[in-house]
Amino acid sequence: MFRTYDGEIDAFAVYCPETCGVYLVPFDDITVTRFCYLRIEPTKNNQVQRVRWARDYEIGSAAKGGLRAPSGA
């Protein structure tokens, strides 16, 4: 059975070890009930609709000394 967080949280904080990226995804941005994915690379078929880009939620990246500002800052 899957758990719902509706009304309990404001956002999910996500760390991706492959990119060292740290992301903050507001709960209201998640429209699905089971799984939510953040895309790092473009799709092979160039789909852009309904794609949740990781760069839109990046708040920093992990480094040995702590968090760094996103590369676009």
Q: Is residue 56 one of the residues assigned to a domain?
A: yes
Provide the pLDDT for residue 66.
58
Is residue 31 assigned to a domain? yes
Distance from first CA to last CA of the chain, Å, rounded? Answer: 40
Helix (H/G/I), strand (E/B), else coil: 66: strand
Residue 4 lies in a domain: no
- Residue 73 belongs to a domain: no
Higher-scoring residue by pLDDT: 18, 63: 18
For residue 31, give its domain range. 11-65
Total of domains in the chain: 1
For the segment 52-73, the average pLDDT, to the nearest whole number, is: 73
- Alpha-carbon distance values, 49 to 32, 43, 60 (Å): 15, 11, 25
pLDDT interval class at 54 (50, 70, 90): very high
Domain contains 40: yes
Residue 64 pLDDT greater than 80, yes or no: no
**pTM score, whole prediction:** 0.71
Quote the CA–CA distance of 7 and 60 in Å, as a whole number: 26
Domain for residue 46, yes or no? yes
In angstroms, the CA 24 to CA 57 distance is 5
